């Protein structure tokens, strides 16, 4: 599992981008259970209100190519060759295969009068030598803008499309002859009022997604869904580097099929603290409750505690420890009324010298399937070593292990993925 390509539950507005050991990657290292695509507009807001990036695409350390029109281009490519010993996360009759992943990406950036605009285009193609039905090509295109009106007022927007797949075995639908492919059209907006050092700050975000499955319609049509989300946060400064916050989020999911009983409203209420207390520590911790109410009569929902925490400790300039913990709820993926997940991850990133760096992580994920007696417990380990051959060329070795136990024996599995990786940029 290449931790660089792991998705995070911190959304684009967050300043703490921390890899999740148990998150889904493009190489088939899917979590033990969980939704295939996160809702937009349900973010953890970062602790630093002065971040230069809101919804536009970050460029990382890549060097740009500047065009005559003033647009900067950031092309990168990732290549991975490896081995997956359980492609379909199966308890028995595991499919093992060598694999190769090629993932080019291009970001175009334009800065004008303090505003920033980006366009992102990426493709991820993974092929398995022993299981061609599991081959997948995913892509994303997104345009976004961060606009700064005054020292107090700023806003951001994004429009995009994701074409992706649910790897076979990553959910509880029947396994078809090929992965379930889907397309999601997405829009998101963010408004922030309050200067970075002001006594208070207000954030409001809106999100809309329309996700439609493109194949295997006998099993997937019932999962077509449109989701509209809203979030608001109020920050109040209690010290030079600390703020308290209150947050409300609402996401309404409407499923297109008349046979579906999944239409629901997801609500979250939080109070919390965000801080940049020392040069070594920054973080945000939120405690509260969440509810999931279904429109279908007789379908039990959920009402209970929730938390979200992201803490980064940097004892040295070249060493970082990230801690994440979250209790969340997601729509069912073919089993039960919903999925209640509690996850904790610790990741350590260390640069030993100018060319050698390592990343090590461990994660625990518990999933309760609402309306059933099933509970899954997954332990995940990840280790990666990267070596910079040149400023623009890095090679590495990544290894990940998932050990998922379940009260339903047929849902238990173990999976190892080993990858040799190459990252190239300008």
Q: Where are the beta strands (DSSP E) in 258-372?
A: 264-275, 281-294, 302-316, 319-331, 338-351, 356-369
Q: Please tell me the predicted confidence (pLDDT) of residue 51.
A: 57
Confidence of residue 239 (pLDDT cuts 50, 70, 90): confident
Please compute the mean of the pLDDT values over residues 347-370 and round it to a whole number.
96
The whole-chain average pLDDT of the chain stands at 87
d(CA 143, CA 276): 31
Q: Please tell me the predicted confidence (pLDDT) of residue 49.
A: 46
Q: What is the DSSP letter of 16?
A: -
Question: 217: helix, coil or strand?
Answer: helix
CB 326 within 8 A of CB 320: no
What is the radius of gyration, based on Cα positions, of the chain? 21
How many CB atoms lie under 10 A from the CB of residue 261?
16
d(CA 12, CA 186): 14
CB 187 within 8 A of CB 158: yes
How many CB atoms lie under 10 A from the CB of residue 399?
15
The answer, yes or no, to whether residue 20 has pLDDT greater than 60, is no
Straight-line distance from the first to the last Cα atom of the chain, in angstroms, rounded to the nearest whole number: 24
The answer, yes or no, to whether residue 140 has pLDDT greater than 80, is yes
Question: Does 320 or 240 have the greater pLDDT score?
Answer: 320
Q: Please tell me the predicted confidence (pLDDT) of residue 16.
A: 34
Q: Please tell me the predicted confidence (pLDDT) of residue 405.
A: 96
Q: Please tell me the predicted confidence (pLDDT) of residue 174.
A: 87
Confidence of residue 181 (pLDDT cuts 50, 70, 90): very high
How many CB atoms lie under 10 A from the CB of residue 1?
30
Burial 285-300 (b: 16+ CB within 10 A, else e): bbebebbbebbeeebe
Dihedrals phi, psi of 339, to nearest 5 degrees: -120, 120
The answer, yes or no, to whether residue 23 has pLDDT greater than 90, is no
**Which CATH number is associated with domain 3-425?**
2.40.160
Please compute the mean of the pLDDT values over residues 72-89 and round it to a whole number.
95
Q: pLDDT tens digits for 26-66? A: 333 333 333 322 333 333 344 344 457 899 999 988 889 99
Q: Please tell me the predicted confidence (pLDDT) of residue 173.
A: 86
Q: pLDDT tens digits for 106-136? A: 999 999 999 999 999 999 999 999 999 999 9
How many CB atoms lie under 10 A from the CB of residue 4?
17
Q: Where are the domains of the chain?
A: 3-425
């Amino acid at each position: 599992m290449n931790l660089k390509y792991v998705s995070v539950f911190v959304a684009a507005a967050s300043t703490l981008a921390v890899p999740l050991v148990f998150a889904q990657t493009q190489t088939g290292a899917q979590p033990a259970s969980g939704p295939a695509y996160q809702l937009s507009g349900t973010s953890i807001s970062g602790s630093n209100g002065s971040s230069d990036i809101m919804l536009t695409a970050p460029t990382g350390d890549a060097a740009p190519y500047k065009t005559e029109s003033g647009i900067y281009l950031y092309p990168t490519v990732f290549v991975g060759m490896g081995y997956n010993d359980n492609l379909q996360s199966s308890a028995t009759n595991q499919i093992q295969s060598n694999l190769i992943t090629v993932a080019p990406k291009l970001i175009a950036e334009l800065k004008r009068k303090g505003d920033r605009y980006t366009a992102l285009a990426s493709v991820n193609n993974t092929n398995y030598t022993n299981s061609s039905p599991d081959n997948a090509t995913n892509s994303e295109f997104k345009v976004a803008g961060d606009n700064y009106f005054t020292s107090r007022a700023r806003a951001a927007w994004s429009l995009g499309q994701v074409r992706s797949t649910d790897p076979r075995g990553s959910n509880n639908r029947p396994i078809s002859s090929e992965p379930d492919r889907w397309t999601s059209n997405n829009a998101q907006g963010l408004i922030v009022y309050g200067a970075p050092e002001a006594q208070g700050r207000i954030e409001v975000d809106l999100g809309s997604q329309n996700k439609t499955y493109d194949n295997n319609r006998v099993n997937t049509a019932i999962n077509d869904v449109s989701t509209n989300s809203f979030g608001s946060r109020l920050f109040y400064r209690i010290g030079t580097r600390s703020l308290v916050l209150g947050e409300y989020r609402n996401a309404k999911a409407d499923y297109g099929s008349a046979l579906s009983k999944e239409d629901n409203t997801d609500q979250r209420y939080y109070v919390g603290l965000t801080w940049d207390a020392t040069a070594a520590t920054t973080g945000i911790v939120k405690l509260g409750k969440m509810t999931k109410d279904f429109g279908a009569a007789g379908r039990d929902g959920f009402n209970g505690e929730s938390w979200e925490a992201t803490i980064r400790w940097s004892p040295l300039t070249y060493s970082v420890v990230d801690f994440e913990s979250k209790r969340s709820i997601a729509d069912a993926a073919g089993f039960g009324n919903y999925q209640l997940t509690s996850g904790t991850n610790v990741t350590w990133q260390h640069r030993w010298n100018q060319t050698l760096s390592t990343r090590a992580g461990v994660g625990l994920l518990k999933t309760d399937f609402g309306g059933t007696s099933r509970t899954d417990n997954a332990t995940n380990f990840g280790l990666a070593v990267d070596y910079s051959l040149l400023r623009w060329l890095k090679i590495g070795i990544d290894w990940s292990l998932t050990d998922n136990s379940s009260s339903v024996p047929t849902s238990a599995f173990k999976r190892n993925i080993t990858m040799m990786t190459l990252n190239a940029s300008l």
